[in-house]
Amino acid sequence: MAEQSTDLKAIMRRDERHRKMLNDPDLTGDLLLFALGLDEVIATRQAQGRKTSGKSWMTAITRLVSGDEGYRRYWAKHVVERDVPRYEPSKSRGRGCIAPMIRREGLCGQPGSTHVLDLDPMTGEGAEGYLCARHRGLEAKYLALKRQWHANGEPSPSANTGGVLRRYFNADWDGIYRWASPWREPLEGGREATPPRPTLRLIQGEGEVSS
Ligand SMILES: [Zn+2]
């Protein structure tokens, strides 16, 4: 991204990047707004021949997309924090009790109220689940798995979420992620890219959009 923004190739690349960003299902809401703001701030500063430096980006982006950096002072930080590449245990599908049955195959399945994390103490891979009132006593088993995981030095699988901004911008992301979330070490990798949305085509004169 060293080219001047007046360079036609750079403009075309930028247009292509905007289209990719807008069609990336993982890049939505505030994260998309942030990415478009970042792209614009970089382009503006390149055109002005100014150096881009760490935290002043954040103020510039917030000012650009919200119109008032004071009003949403921590907005940019929170957006980046939510994009830290990290591992998250698989979410529970419903609230069915995950206690294994003894006399029959499968899980209990009764409505659960006690939230537990079924953690592999060797790898750190985990899945959220629930226990029903009758099986609440099994909670101790899951807490013991967690203690063992701590004792093993808290091993972590590679990231399965976050890291979407890294797809589009070359920057010292490890440094930026650590700034936004000092207590959490950014992991390698990140979420696998979801296939892009179907391309939308604007039908001229018809006033409708079709896929
Ligand atoms: Zn149960």
- Structural domain boundaries of the chain? 8-85+160-210, 88-157
CA 106 / ligand 1 centre spacing (Å): 11
What's the gap in Å between 56 CA and the centre of ligand 1? 53
Over pLDDT 70: what percentage of the chain?
Answer: 83
CA of 136 to the centre of ligand 1 (A): 8
Ligand 1 center to 50 CA (angstroms): 62
**Orientation angle between helical segments 173-180 and 54-66, nearest 10 degrees:** 70
Q: How far is the CA of 122 from the centre of ligand 1 (A)?
A: 26
- Between 198 and 99, the higher pLDDT residue: 99
Which letter does DSSP use for residue 169 in this model? -
Q: Measure the CA dihedral 134/140/145/148, to 10°.
A: 180
Instruction: Give distance in angstroms: CA of 154 to centre of ligand 1.
Output: 28
% of residues, the chain, pLDDT over 90: 47
pLDDT above 90 for 153:
yes
What is the arithmetic mean of pLDDT over 119-145? Answer: 96
At residue 44, the pLDDT reads 85
Rounded Cα gap, residues 48 and 13, in angstroms: 19
- As given in the structure block, the two tokens for residue 166 are 């890294």
Task: Break the chain down into helix, strand, coil percent, rounded to 5.
Answer: 40, 15, 45
- For ligand 1, the distance from its centroid to the CA atom of residue 97, given in whole angstroms, is 5
CB-count exposure of residue 37 (10 Å: 0-12, 13-18, 19+): buried
Q: In sequence order, what are the beta bridge partners of 208?
A: 203
- Mean local confidence (pLDDT), 71-78: 80
Distance CA 150, CA 207 (A): 59
Q: What is the CA(96)–ligand 1 centre distance, in A?
A: 8
Most confident segment among 93-97, 143-147, 170-174, 199-203? 143-147
Distance, CA 112 to ligand 1 centroid (Å)?
Answer: 7
Q: Which residue type does 161 have?
A: T
Give the sign of the dihedral formed by CA 110, CA 111, CA 113, CA 114: positive
Q: Left if phi > 0, otherwise alpha if psi is -120 to 50, otherwise beta: which for 190?
A: left
How far apart are the CA of 128 and the centre of ligand 1, in A?
Answer: 15
Residue 101 identity (one-letter amino acid)? M
**How many whole angstroms from 94 Cα to the centroid of ligand 1?**
13
Cα 75 from Cα 59, distance rounded (Å) = 10
Residues 75, 31: Cα–Cα separation, whole Å: 10
**Cα 121 to ligand 1 centroid, rounded to whole Å:** 23
What distance in angstroms lies between residue 111's CA and the mean position of ligand 1's atoms? 7
